[in-house]
Chains A and B, each alone.
Chain A
Amino acid sequence: MKQLIVSPAPHFHSGDSVRKNMLLVIIALLPAYAVSVWQFGWGALITTAISVAACVLFEWLIAKYILKQKSTIGDLSAVLTGLLLAFNLPSNLPWWIVIIGALVAIGVAKMSFGGLGQNIFNPALVGRVFLLISFPAQMTTWPVPQGFATSYVDAATGATPLAALKEAIKSGEASVLNELPEMWDILIGKMGGSLGEVSALLLLAGGIFLIAKRVITWHIPVSIMATVALFAAVTGWAGMLPESVCTGEYVMLSLCTGGMMLGAWFMATDYVTSPMSNWGKIIFGVGIGVIVMVIRTWGAYPEGMSFAILIMNACAPLLNLIRPKRFGEKKK
């Protein structure tokens, strides 16, 4: 008889793999991406292509020539990082800035820690924040959505809704508020902003798809959004808003703009940089929600989702100390 294969139990596997999970996240991002292309035209396509290609290339180069290990681009995590990085950039960003962002994301935030699974911070967000601090002008000029009529390099630019709101609160001039888009436009993504953050509705749909596919659990996104909604409602009641903005509108604005959907469903839920137990995830989400609203209300930046997620990423190892509920735990 042939030699038999022997291994300890279990002899059965679910068939799940890292590649499969990454692929599902990419699929979940595609509908929202389609809206971005519809809104921002060529700029969206070019920025994404450069970002994805650069991320994959850098990962391959670093694995081959610096770390001298087997290439890991096959697990699609570099593709996902590239896609998420592009989603976080304005669609008219010069190509060389995109490449710098990809280098920081993959080279600094991911590979220098030892590759997938070892990084402390979300690579795409590190890339984005690096660019935001290094190139503040380019990173905060948002093209006005005009579809393919917008050319890549010199698009007409406008403010994001949250920037407009912040300006209004600061200056006390209600007239700025006229720039705010309609609620429906916000939902479908007809507003200024980063390439992929605009379509709140489709990002939400993508997130629900991921939960249905058991790629992510509900804990992080739901706790973030609940915290943000509560915080926004309280600021509204406390009378910190201009009179022309009602509390309900502010809650919706907080949830649907400023990369909230993208961050809550796709960035904060990154496996590597989020806690692992359910309670850890909930605390993580609440932390992000509080930090982002503190930044938006009192900080210098109108958005702040990236900073909030990165700060909580640093807390994730600490949150991993929270033990899950054990079976038959003795009550103290």
Chain B
Amino acid sequence: MKATFRIGGVHPHDNKQYSVHQLITECPLPAKAIIPLVQHIGAPAQAVVEKGQKVKVGELIAKAGGFVSANIHAPFSGTITKIDSTIDAWGMKMPAVFMDVEGDEWLETIDRSKDIVRKLDYEPKYIIDKVQEAGIVGLGGACFPTHVKLLPPPGKKAEVLIVNGVECEPYLTCDHQLMLEHGEEIIIGIQLLMRALNIEKAIIGIEANKPDAIKHMTALASKVLGIEVKALKLKYPQGGEKQLIDACIRRQVPSGALPIEVGAVVDNVATIYAVYEAVQKNKPLISRVMTVTGKSLAKPGNYDVRFGTPLTEVVALAGGVPEDTGKVIGGGPMMGRAMSNIDMPSNKRVSGLLFLPEAESLRQEITNCVRCGKCIGACPMGLEPWLLSKQAWHSMWDEMEDHNIMDCIECGCCQFTCPSHLPLLDYVRMGKAKVGGLIRARQAANK
């Protein structure tokens, strides 16, 4: 029997048929680009270029604004027109570098050949520095700077690297395709990270709906000591960090702690591919594979998009916005964010672009809670979403904290499963933000 996490979970239809096995295509360069300086969790990056300056692809344009932050490099060559603020598709203001794209001139230090470099004898510090320099963040969705994970806090020791090839979000296929096309590079990337963390063991978790990827990766991993491929039972949210650790090594990260508490470091396959490119090819993180998909889209597929490319251009490549579109989602349908327009530039966070037809966009009518308890059964963190959402409605913040609201991973299983179509997660998420703020305020007061 295939392994999976032990508490809760749901089985949404995976809908990956639209874009699965579509070869990764490079998105053409736009004429103008806007590169947001907040593409990660943590402090915004600080621009280090000036108006009118010419840059080459791969040049540093913004420096990390702290330890938990990430560098940003020029994805295009051309002239910086201004450094101003831009408004993203959610109306949030953020600093950004505007540039006119001229040609495609790369830094000479970057190795652009397709040859696979297998050199491994680096010092751990060298690898971590390279990852930090290249501005690599977790490409699974959270965009947490990767170098932070590679430097465990004192007293904690990593034992195993868990590679997230689960891609449990319905519709998305970018990681799947990346494993098929760049499996060898990913294995080298894993070895690099194992060296950096000084560990002997790595587990690649892949869900059972990608049998070809499981086969491909198993064949590649069998040649390397210490790397194991684990086929996992299909269940959402297996790609959640804590759920994946539970599924792979049967350890539950304690409430409120980080994965390193149980000796695990989790990285997404796309992140690992970026690590390979940074260390072996000297190429910073300037692009990612995005799945552009939807039932009515003409050419759904997996596209290699440089950060800063307007999403409208990416959509044009996939055949334009379908007529019947009601909702555009950045990311997958379970955790992605709906956009109010698609004029924003792509960034490290957006792993996919999903066009839902109007008929599937609107929520159903809300009815009374019938206390069926299905949300409790579905919650992968063992919480009581019905109760938490009621407490949030009544502003009972202390009670919410007592009911472990901060453990919520906002996976959406509760709302997905609710037969009364209640907006459970809407309220839980709001309450979590409130309680989180109260906790931080309390900690600040105690200091």
In the complex they form, whether A and B have CB atoms below 8 Å apart is answered with yes
Q: Which residues of A contact B (CB under 8 A)?
A: 1-2, 4-14, 16-18, 20-21, 72, 75, 114-118, 217, 271-272, 274-278, 281, 320, 323-330
Residues of A within 8 A of B364 (CB): 13, 17
Known: A10-B412, A16-B419, A21-B419. A4 touches B376 (CB 8 A): no
Which chain B residues lie closer than 8 Å to A1 at the CB level? 321, 341-342
A18 to chain B: which residues have CB within 8 Å?
Answer: 367, 370, 419-420
Contact (Cβ within 8 A) A217 B325? no
Whole-angstrom distance between the Cβ of B23 and the nearest chain A Cβ: 27
Quote the shortest CB–CB distance from A261 to chain B (angstroms). Answer: 21
Q: In the complex the two chains form, what is the Cα distance from A75 to B369 in whole Å?
A: 13
Stretch at the interface among B172-180, B207-215, B403-411: B403-411
A4, B327: Cβ atoms closer than 8 Å:
yes
> Do A12 and B170 touch across chains, with their CB atoms under 8 A apart?
yes
Using A272-B371, A275-B373 as known contacts, list a sample of 5 further A-B pairs with CB atoms less than 8 Å apart, ordered by residue number in A. Answer: A2-B325, A9-B334, A118-B368, A276-B386, A277-B384
Taken together as a complex, chains A and B put the C-alpha atoms of A280 and B170 apart, in Å, by 33
Is the CB–CB distance between A6 and B327 below 8 Å? Answer: yes
Considering the complex, give the chain A residue whose CB is closest to the CB of B419: A16
Residue of A nearest to B356 (CB): A11
Interchain CB contact (< 8 A) of B368 among A9, A10, A117, A217: A117
Can you give 16 contacting A-B residue pairs, CB < 8 Å?
A5-B326, A5-B361, A7-B338, A8-B423, A9-B335, A9-B336, A10-B335, A11-B327, A16-B418, A117-B369, A276-B376, A320-B387, A323-B403, A327-B242, A327-B381, A327-B407
A270 to chain B, nearest CB (A): 9
Residues of A near B334 (CB, < 8 A) are: 9-12
Residue from B255, B367, B377, B410 within 8 A of A9 (CB atoms): B410
User: Do A13 and B356 touch across chains, with their CB atoms under 8 A apart?
Assistant: no
The minimal Cβ–Cβ distance linking A175 to chain B, given in whole angstroms, is 49
A324 / chain B contacts, CB cutoff of 8 Å: 376, 379, 382-384
Contact A327 B380 (CB under 8 A): yes
Provide the residues of chain B in CB contact with A329, threshold 8 Å.
Answer: 252, 254-255, 382
How many angstroms between the C-alpha atoms of A276 and B329 in the bound complex?
33
Distance of A248 from chain B, by nearest CB (Å): 35
B329 proximity list for chain A (CB < 8 A): 11
Give bound CA distance, A325 to B246, whole Å: 15
Q: Is B120 an interface residue (CB 8 A)?
A: no
Task: Report how far A217 CA is from B404 CA in the complex, Å.
Answer: 25
Residue B94 lies at the interface, judged by CB distance under 8 Å to chain A: no
- Chain B, range 300-342, C-beta contacts under 8 Å to A: 321, 325-329, 333-342
CB-contact partner of A325 in B257, B358, B367, B382, under 8 A: B382
Give the chain B neighbours of A4 by CB distance below 8 A.
Answer: 325-328, 338-341
Asked whether B335 lies within 8 Å of A325 as measured between CB atoms, the reply is no
| A275 to B377 Cα, complex, angstroms | 12
- CB-CB under 8 A from B421, the residues of chain A are 13, 17
Q: Is the CB of B367 within 8 A of A271?
A: no
Q: A115-B368, A326-B383, A326-B407 are in contact. Are A10 and B419 (CB under 8 A)?
A: no
Report the minimum CB–CB distance from B230 to chain A (whole Å). Answer: 19
Asked whether A6 and B338 contact (CB < 8 A) given A12-B12, A117-B370, the answer is yes
Report the bound CA distance from A7 to B366 in whole Å.
14
**How far is A324 from B339 in the complex, measured between Cα atoms in Å?**
35
| Residue from the set A6, A11, A276, A323 with the largest chain B CB neighbour count within 10 Å | A11
Q: Secondary structure of the B side of the interface?
A: loop
B404 and A326 contact, CB distance less than 8 A: yes
Q: Is B2's beta carbon under 8 Å from chain A?
A: no
Select A272's contact among B370, B383, B404, beta carbons within 8 Å: B370
Query: In the bound complex, do residue A8 and residue B326 qualify as a contact, i.e. CB atoms below 8 Å apart?
Result: no
Asked whether B234 is an interface residue with its Cβ less than 8 Å from the other chain, the reply is no
Chain B residue, CB-CB nearest to A273: B371
A215: nearest residue on chain B (CB-CB)?
B372
Residues of A within 8 A of B170 (CB): 12
8 Å CB contact of A6 from B253, B339, B387:
B339
Chain A to chain B: the 5 pairs with minimum beta-carbon distance, closest first: A10-B412, A276-B373, A117-B368, A271-B372, A12-B333
B374 contacts A by Cβ under 8 Å: yes
A286 CB to closest chain B CB (Å) equals 17
Is B442 part of the binding interface, using a Cβ–Cβ cutoff of 8 Å?
no
Q: Which residues of chain B have C-beta atoms less than 8 A from A12's C-beta?
A: 12, 170, 333-334, 412, 416
- Chain A proximity of B12: nearest CB distance (Å): 6
Residue of B nearest to A331 (CB): B254
Tell me whether B426 is interfacial, beta carbon within 8 Å.
yes
Q: How far is the CA of A290 from the CA of B316 in the complex (A)?
A: 67
Closest chain A residue to B424, Cβ basis: A10
Is the C-beta of B204 less than 8 angstroms from some C-beta in chain A? no
Contact A75:B367 (CB < 8 A) given known A4-B326, A20-B419, A271-B372 = yes
Q: Is B203 an interface residue (CB 8 A)?
A: no
Cβ of B425 < 8 Å from any Cβ of A?
yes
Asked if B415 is at the interface (CB within 8 A of a chain A CB), the reply is yes
A4-B340, A11-B333, A11-B356 known; A326-B386 Cβ under 8 A: no
A13, A277, A323: most-surrounded residue (chain B CB, <10 A): A13
Binary flags per residue of B268-299, CB closer than 8 Å to A gives 1, else 0: 00000000000000000000000000000000
Identify which of B370, B403, B417 gathers the most chain A CB atoms within 10 Å of its CB.
Answer: B370
A21 to B370 CA separation, bound complex (whole angstroms) = 11
CA distance A276 to B373 in the complex (A): 4
B429 within 8 A of A: yes
Quick check: is B114 within 8 A (CB to CB) of the other chain?
A: no
| Beta-carbon contact of B255 and A10 below 8 Å | no
A118 to B, closest residue via Cβ:
B368
Closest residue of chain B to A11 (Cβ to Cβ) is B333
Residues of B within 8 A of A115 (CB): 368
Most B CB contacts (10 A, CB to CB) among A12, A18, A278, A281 go to A12
Inter-chain contacts of B117 with A (CB < 8 A): none
Does B370 contact A328, Cβ atoms closer than 8 Å? no
CA distance A44 to B40 in the complex (A): 67
Please indicate the chain A residues that have their CB under 8 angstroms from the CB of B257 in the complex.
328
User: How far, in Å, is A77 (CB) from chain B's closest CB?
Assistant: 8
Give A9 to B354 CA distance when docked, in angstroms. Answer: 13
Q: Which residues of A contact B327 (CB under 8 A)?
A: 4-7, 11
Find B415's partner among A10, A271, A276, A277 (CB 8 Å cutoff): A10
**Least Cβ–Cβ distance between B56 and chain A, in angstroms:** 35
Residues on A with C-beta less than 8 A from B336 are 9, 11
Is the CB of B7 closer than 8 A to any CB of chain A? yes
Task: Pick the most buried of B10, B362, B416: most chain A CB atoms within 10 A of its CB.
Answer: B416
Kindly provide the distance from the CB of A80 to the nearest chain B CB, expressed in whole angstroms: 12
Taken together as a complex, chains A and B put the C-alpha atoms of A18 and B420 apart, in Å, by 6
CA distance A224 to B403 in the complex (A): 29
B363 within 8 A of A: yes
The answer for the CA separation of A5 and B380 in the assembled complex, in Å, is 28
Give B335 Cβ to nearest chain A Cβ, in Å. Answer: 5
Alpha-carbon gap, A75 to B10, bound state (A): 24
